[in-house]
Structure 1
């Protein structure tokens, strides 16, 4: 019976990963959220899972101690092992209007510094905290897979090809997260681990978002995605649904072999 931990499973892509994994009664899925009581969508998924195979756990990726505590709980439930870690937690700054800013568009360097530091804590250190917490369990698992849910906006070649100057803090810190993935891949290759990053693409997650996007956010998104579609012919014409995206993410994850460790994949091909 495969065991999975999904770090960041309360909304959007992470929530759908939990839902689709739980659809197989052979799987046991441990899903983390910063505040389980307020994670109404995750609670609903756990309640509706026919096999009752979803366990919700509270942890914040910025707090490595909370992840260690959760890992101890998982160890008790599984007998000390874990097959797959899927790290999905991420920080985007929609609330302050900084998500689509380029490096030259921040109101001040103080604002830029604050946004970059907070994004780094979640998007980069958060991945390290997750892997470090669950690595002892993964070493005793049978599948030995570590999957980072990433973004093409963190890949240098894609950023240059699409001239993606926007999403500066998110892109730079997710780029660092992709390097974290490569570093772990290099460290764990001889132990038979598959460590990879997968981008879910442009996904409409509004159904489980904390608040609906503003008109300005939608305009910024469409401007950015329009240029990407022009320069990446295989990119979808419209946002994927969480169901569509995660189906592809899991297909990619399950197809990975040892030779694919340290690679970045996108659902668009």
Structure 2
């Protein structure tokens, strides 16, 4: 029986690897969104190389809920109105402005902080709402009824406190809100037999598909975060996973989840 997936945000990194691994099964059809399909060279290659030619790219910006609705309509026309699994991976991790790793006290001005938080909220929090809302009518007709948020331990209060992780403020706060979005949809859909959950892929080396190599400053900031996590959570491990390693574990969790697991947060690190 064919399984229909939608991966929201799959042009590079973890999302791209999710698409690649799902497409390896010829029984799967994978619909994947990117803000600019034509310029998403890594995604174009995955589409071309898929053994069963079962990857369908869709041009979508999660900030624009209308584009998600249009994409859902395209998928519905192709699948008879059904979708089995939605994996929301889109996230704002923009290093270009130098704000990605900042703590609440490290912004140049409160105006800069406000702007960063608002943009992060649009993508990381509202984006998840937009994608789930757009595809929910299809998921209701699917056989699996799974909604998965690709999340982060940096958005979980207990983990942030344990690691004393004061950096990545805008990303962490808005991903925390995204985890609450997951919980709200779980509460909304539990009586319909849905599985709604969040999964952290861990620290993953995605430089192979980044638009440009990380700068020395970015690498130093990343090391600063990793060192703090390892110091305060010694069993976490300081070696980044490859996308292949991480996604194999992510999809293992996705496939294992049942209705009893709805409203839960999982990490590939255990």
TM-score, reference length from structure 1 = 0.99
Question: d(CA) in 1 for partners of 2:111 and 2:131?
Answer: 29
Alignment match, 2:174: 173
Q: Distance in 2 between matches of 1:38 and 1:136?
A: 30
Deviation (angstroms), 1:230? 2.2
SS in 2 for 1:247: helix
Corresponding position of 2:60 = 59
Q: Equivalents in 2 of 1:17, 1:251: separation in Å?
A: 11
Structure-to-structure mapping, 1:93-242, within 5 angstroms: 93-242=94-243
1:186-237 Cα deviation digits (max 9, x unpaired): 0000000000000001000001001110001101101111111222233232
Find the aligned partners of 1:94 and 1:189 in 2 and give their Cα distance: 37
Q: For residues 198 and 229 of structure 1, what CA distance do their matches in structure 2 show?
A: 20
Task: Determine the structure 1 residue equivalent to 2:91.
Answer: 90
- Tell me how far apart the structure 1 counterparts of residues 204 and 26 of structure 2 sit (CA, whole Å): 26
Cα distance in 2 between the residues matched to 1:50 and 1:144: 26
Q: Within the alignment, does 1:35 sit opposite 2:36 as a pair? A: yes
Specify the alignment match of 2:12 in structure 1: 11
Q: Which runs of 5+ in 2 are unaligned?
A: none
Per the alignment, in what secondary structure is the counterpart of residue 235 of structure 2? coil
Of stretches 172-181 and 93-102 in structure 1, the one that deviates more from structure 2 is 93-102
Distance in 2 between the 1:77 and 1:233 partners? 48
Q: Normalised by the size of structure 2, how large is the TM-score? A: 0.99
Q: What is the rounded CA distance, in whole Å, between the counterparts of 1:158 and 1:11 in structure 2?
A: 26
- What RMSD over aligned residues (CA atoms) do the two structures have, in Å? 0.6
1:151-170 Cα deviation digits (max 9, x unpaired): 00000000000000000000
Secondary structure in structure 2 of the residue aligned to 1:157: helix
d(CA) in 2 for partners of 1:146 and 1:154? 18
Tell me the secondary structure at the aligned position of residue 210 of structure 1.
Answer: coil
2:81 paired residue number = 80
In structure 1, distance between residues paired with 2:137 and 2:42: 30
* Structure 1 residues 27-46: Cα deviation after superposition (integer angstroms, max 9, x where no partner): 00000000000011001001
- Mapped contact 1:234–1:268 kept (Cα < 8 A): no
CA distance in 2 between partners of 1:79 and 1:230 (Å): 52
Structure 1 residue ranges (4+ consecutive) displaced by more than 3 angstroms after TM superposition: none
Does 2:258 correspond to 1:261?
no
Return the alpha-carbon distance in structure 2 between the equivalents of residues 99 and 214 of structure 1: 13
- Structure 2: distance between partners of 1:214 and 1:13: 20
1:259 CA drift (Å): 1.1
